Amino acid sequence: MEKEFPIKQIIDGNGNLIDSTFGSEITEELLKELYTKMLRARTLDRKSANLQRQGRIGTYAPFEGQEAAQVGSASALEKGDWMFPTYRDHAATLTFGHSLSTILLYWKGRVEGCVPPEGKNIFPPAVPIATQLPHATGAALAEKRKGSDRVSIAYFGDGATSEGDFHEGLNFASVFKAPVVFFNQNNGYAISVPIEKQMNSKTIAQKSVSYDIDGVRVDGNDVFAVYFETKKAIEKARKGEGPTLIEAVTWRYGAHTTADDPTKYRDQELSAEKRKLTDPLLRIERYMEKQGVWEEGWKAQVQKQCEEEIEKAVVEMEAYPEADVNDIFDHVFEEPTWTIKQQKEAFLSMKRGETV
């Protein structure tokens, strides 16, 4: 099936333009815009991992290596569209307009971290695997019924395609031609399980055949391949021509989360070797050098701006008012059940030092 679903690539690992279809659209302005967004995301990612190690936020899910997949796809969306991310897609949510301090609040375990800025249709990050796919289909169907041209995009990993929610989401979207893009980031591992031990399918994209929808496979570390293919899928959905399944083949350089050790299940030398040709930022740097538009001074300036912006967000996150413990219990049901009341009283009793 790899032949039926070849990996689409526009710029290779050495920074060469190997598909000129969109050559005229890759302007210096677009290059710098996407590079800046990816650098901003990477700076946030590294800062967040450091904050976790310092005990200033909770367990964190890094994404270094997946910046092109997330930034490229999110950049193809328009205002008013819907985004359904997982816990690892904060590069995508950041690109789509989420605030830095809110993202950090999420990793600090605050409920406020799930609230998007006014006017941004970003769902809270889905921690259960694949549950957001039917939600994305439902939101897309609602927009279709309202007669709007808004679309949904749902993010998920390769492991999610083994879950029932993946198939339910795609089936409903296919039957009702929902304007939704299913965006898979296939990094070859579902936590510690390599893809060849999880499924017999050679690709994720081929799963689209079962639902008679379009399936596309792209180099997930090539931000332009991701951007233009996602844009095509979104435009198709916007015109009422149904959903698309995109498989972005990528590679994450770090752990699944800061709570696990990837050396136990993945060859780290292979990962380091892959970085030489797959790093999405390095690829764009090489391309820009070949085009004669790369300036180290410009990168240093952008890096400085990103660091200052993120440091400011950290200050805002840490200055946030203490959490109200009642929030854990008071928003589960409209009227709390006896079990919730009992749990709340037990917790408050412990806080008062009456019980242990």
Catalytic residues: 252, 256, 265
The whole-angstrom separation of Cα 34 and Cα 348 is: 48
Tokens of 111: 């409920």
CA neighbor of 314 nearest in space, from 105, 95, 90: 105
Geometric angle at alpha carbon 315, from 63 and 61, rounded to 5°: 15
The whole-angstrom separation of Cα 281 and Cα 351 is: 48
Tokens of 245: 């399944």
Count CB neighbours of 29 within 10 A: 8
DSSP string, 260-295: S-GGGTS-HHHHHHHHHHH-HHHHHHHHHHHHT---
The whole-angstrom separation of Cα 85 and Cα 115 is: 13
Q: What is the DSSP letter of 213?
A: -
Q: Is there a contact between 169 and 182 (Cβ–Cβ < 8 Å)? A: yes
Give the three-class secondary structure for 101: helix
Residue tagged 């039917």 (tokens):
134
CA neighbor of 186 nearest in space, from 168, 167, 199, 177: 199
Answer positive or negative: Cα dihedral of 279, 190, 95, 218. Answer: positive
The whole-angstrom separation of Cα 70 and Cα 255 is: 17
Tokens of 155: 């993010």
